[in-house]
Structure 1
Amino acid sequence: MKDTTLSEAPFHAALADGPPGAVCVWLKAGQARIRVAWWRAGDRGTVLLLPGRTECVEKYGRAAGDLVARGFSVITIDWRGQGLADRALPDRMVGHVGDFDEYQQDMDAMLAAATEAGLPQPFYLMAHSMGGCIGLRALMRGLRIRAAVFSAPMWGIAMAAWLRPVASVVGALARPLGIAHRYAPTTGGQAYLATQPFQGNVLTTDPEMWDYMRRQVVEVPDLALGGPSIAWLKAALVECAALARMPAPPVPTICALGTAEKVVDVPPIHLRMAGWATGQLDLYPGAEHEIMMEGPAARARFFDRAASLYAANR
């Protein structure tokens, strides 16, 4: 396999609760070993499903089931620094990269794996949160997909107003002071799902889907991740600012956003979609950050609309 090292990787099928027949492998992306999983179904094409920060392939088992039921194959990924992919620091709970370009190496390896595994074409994009940032950059680099669906994309970093100048100063000084590997301000080494009760959480309003996500990181702690490093935060701010200066790609797009969103910065999403000639902003009243992990009605609406967009752009 070109630019990849294909070998079987562990996959927690019971926790993923996805369709049968998952294939899970290790890939080499630059100097990092990453993990991808795919499900093959029908001939309607393949969805490149890009997770958010802290997430793993098992988290998207049910989403894969929703897409397979609609006739689409699915491939998803453990980005470097999370899930079972290589982690850069001795403290594995720190989410760390030095530059967001590193994620594009992962993206390229995933695309090569999908192609060489013979997953059915055309390819489509589905990207959540940080995956939405990585996916938008990939589109701007010329990723050849027919249509894209974003879920609460990280096109801006949500933080308190007082923290923005602090983050800027800390980010600038982190490397000279040798603290780029430390947790970003206000974050730490605890996994949100493992420590936060359902009541008051900022991810989903659905208790059953909350339990589904929580079981994964509690039963397999190696899948869990804590806060980002200072270097990650600086790199994310730089990438979001760079993307904001670029025009939207000419790709048919739906961007789903919950009206109760509290994790990513909302104004950049509205601004981007207002200027996306082939894009549509789709609001979900009362939904939190994880629209694919909301209740049955929201999930059905999300996957039905995604399938319709993909089918219209074969």
Structure 2
Amino acid sequence: MDLSPAPFFADMAGVPAGGQAHWLNTADNTRIRVGHWLPEGDTCGTVMMFPGRTEYIEKYGNCAAEFTDRGFAFLAVDWRGQGLADRLLDDPRVGHVEQFTDYQQDVQATLDLATELNLPKPWFVIGHSMGGAIGMRAALEKNCFAACAFTGPMWGIFFTPIMKPLSRLTAYWGPRIGLGEKTPPTTSLESYVASQPFEGNVLTRDPDMFQMMKDQLVAQPELALGAPSTIWLREALDECAWLMDQTAPDTPCLTFLGSHEQIVDRKAIRTRMANWPSGTLVEITDGEHEVLMEAPDVRGPVFDQLAAHFKAAQTDAVPEPVLSS
């Protein structure tokens, strides 16, 4: 494997020292970017972070610090169509994928890199939002993770009662009438984080973390991404439906859901976790979509529980998580 170095914005807030990034070419010749960190001393394995739509490696710098401090190697990926990976449409502000399963080519390239770098095993995965859908299929098909975890996973997309039929109509008829690469009605080509104030945002209740995300996009605007294409929406809806039809894998699973979640479907998450034999759902009181980006008194215990969950998978004994109050 050609380990070509990729740009890496190590000076961004929250990004620990020692990280490296690489360009990878997938099987269909799409270029993606993967970053990784190693802890000092002995390791407990490698945590692979599968980010959500619009996200990028550096956003998870704080997570890299949390896990390397706890003895884990850490890896994160820029999926096709976002971050510094290849953008797939002429307008780079539109998030797009031709088929949702194309993301599994990105997963395979990432696993190949982890093998080439000899990143310590066992391997674990955390899937956030869209990365939760990608990560669940990977857990079902790849059989390489000792344990998995999810935060606000996209196993269904939240729509208001009024928007649900309109969104489905757009997703399934838009591509048929030549609007597949256009964004759905009421959406914006501007980055949500860059264009929204902290007050009333649906990502986090921590103003410092929200400001950090804004500052990162001001410093490196090429990382920003706007609304998805209608083809992406169609593919995402189909993928969510497929995932909900699958039997949960035997892999130990810990999932976090913010009580104020407004981006993904809370009912789908509760239904899935109620039918995951070795799975536990923890609901975060007053949490928004990004529990890993909440205030320190919220995210600190979440990282503790994730680390304990992964370490327990090494001994086949998963502890009961501490519920947030």
With structure 1 as the length reference, what TM-score do the two structures score?
0.97
Over the residues paired in the alignment, what is the CA RMSD in angstroms?
1.1
Aligned residue in 2 for 1:242: 242
CA–CA separation in structure 2 for the residues paired with 1:171 and 1:284:
31
Q: Which residue of 1 aligns with 2:22?
A: 25
Letter in 2 for 1:199: E
> Does the 8 Å contact 1:16/1:60 carry over to 2?
no
Residue in 1 aligned with 2:68?
A: 68
Q: 1:13 aligns with which of 10, 13, 31?
A: 10
| Kept after mapping to 1: 8 A contact 2:175/2:230 | no
- Conserved? CA contact 1:190–1:226, under 8 Å: yes
State the shift of 1:21 in Å. Answer: 1.0
The answer as to whether partners of 1:147 and 1:310 remain within 8 angstroms in 2 is yes
Paired residue secondary structure (2:257):
strand
Measure the CA separation in 1 of the matches of 2:111 and 2:32.
13
Contact 2:3 2:23 in 1 (8 A): yes
1: CA distance between counterparts of 2:202 and 2:166? 24
**Count, aligned residues:** 311
Q: Secondary structure at the match of 1:76?
A: strand
Contact 1:19 1:68 in 2 (8 A): no
What is the aligned partner in structure 2 of residue 212 from structure 1?
212
Superposition pairs of residues 39-118 of structure 1, within 5 angstroms: 39-41=37-39, 42-118=42-118
Deviation at 1:214, TM superposition (A): 1.1
> What's 2:183 paired with?
183
Cα distance in structure 2, aligned partners of 1:154 and 1:216? 24
Name the SS for the 1:280 alignment partner: strand
Unaligned runs of 5+ in 2: 315-325
Query: How does 1:252-263 map onto structure 2 within 5 Å?
Result: 252-263=252-263
Aligned-pair CA distance for 1:262: 1.0
Query: Which 5+ residue runs of structure 1 have no aligned equivalent?
Result: none
Other structure's SS at 1:13 match: coil
SS in 2 for 1:15: coil
Q: CA offsets, 1:152-198, max 9 Å, x none?
A: 10110111223222233332323332110001222121101111011
Q: Secondary structure at the match of 2:150?
A: strand
Percentage identity across paired residues of the two chains: 45
**1:194-237 deviations in Å (ceiling 9; x for gaps):** 11011111111111111111111122110000001000000000
SS in 2 for 1:109: helix
Aligned to 1:283: 283
> If the length of structure 2 is used for normalisation, what is the TM-score?
0.93
Match of 2:251 in 1: 251
CA distance in 2, matches of 1:303, 1:285: 16
